[in-house]
């Protein structure tokens, strides 16, 4: 989230840098808990429940996307701070919108897991600063 002024180093997870012992457990966690679990709850269950409450119109879906995205972001704040909450909220808005339009969750589960696995590997290989500069400044 350096674009919004955040440190390119994810301090909450930087302990993973080179930490071979922690890597397998973290990969399982981001695939199962985050990729599949969070999508099941936020794009599956909560969309269905709020759909019953608000309806299925465009305005209702927009409200559901906004509500679930903010909630998703807030749940990431205690562990990841403001930058993590911002990223999760943006992520929720994008994935929530895709789900509201398409109504299919599997692609979102796999995309979420792939995003998180990529992030974990970037941290593990200690490439956060390099990737941030590559993305925001061009080739180093």
Question: What is the pLDDT averaged over residues 110-135?
Answer: 89
What CA–CA distance (Å, rounded) separates 62 from 57? 9
| 140 vs 44: which has the higher pLDDT | 44
Q: What own/partner pairs with CB < 8 Å and gap ≥ 24 does 58-62 have? A: 61/100, 62/100
Question: What is the pLDDT averaged over residues 86-104?
Answer: 95
Per the domain annotation, does 4 fall within a domain? no
| Total structural domains within the chain | 1
| 107 vs 139: which has the higher pLDDT | 107
pLDDT at position 20? 95
Range of the domain at 95: 23-137
Q: Would you say the pTM of this structure is higher than 0.95?
A: no
Using the predicted structure, report yes or no on whether residue 4 has a pLDDT greater than 70.
no
Using the predicted structure, report yes or no on whether residue 2 has a pLDDT greater than 60.
no
Per the domain annotation, does 126 fall within a domain? yes
pLDDT at position 140? 53
Q: What is the mean pLDDT of the chain?
A: 90
Per the domain annotation, does 36 fall within a domain? yes
Per the domain annotation, does 61 fall within a domain? yes
Cα four-point dihedral sign 128, 131, 135, 140: positive
Using the predicted structure, report yes or no on whether residue 112 has a pLDDT greater than 60.
yes
């Amino acid at each position: 989230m350096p674009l919004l002024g955040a440190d390119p180093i994810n301090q909450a997870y930087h302990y993973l840098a080179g930490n071979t012992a922690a890597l397998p457990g973290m990969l399982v966690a981001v695939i199962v808990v985050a990729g599949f679990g969070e999508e099941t709850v936020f794009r599956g269950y909560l969309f269905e429940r709020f759909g019953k409450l608000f309806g299925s119109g465009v305005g209702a879906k927009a409200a559901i996307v906004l509500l679930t995205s903010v909630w998703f972001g807030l749940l990431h704040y205690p562990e990841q701070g403001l930058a993590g909450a911002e990223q999760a909220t943006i992520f929720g808005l994008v994935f929530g919108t895709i789900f509201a339009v398409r109504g299919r969750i599997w692609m979102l589960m796999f995309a979420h897991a792939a995003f998180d696995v990529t992030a974990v590997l970037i941290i593990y290989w200690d490439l956060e600063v390099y990737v941030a500069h590559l993305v925001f400044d061009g080739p180093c």
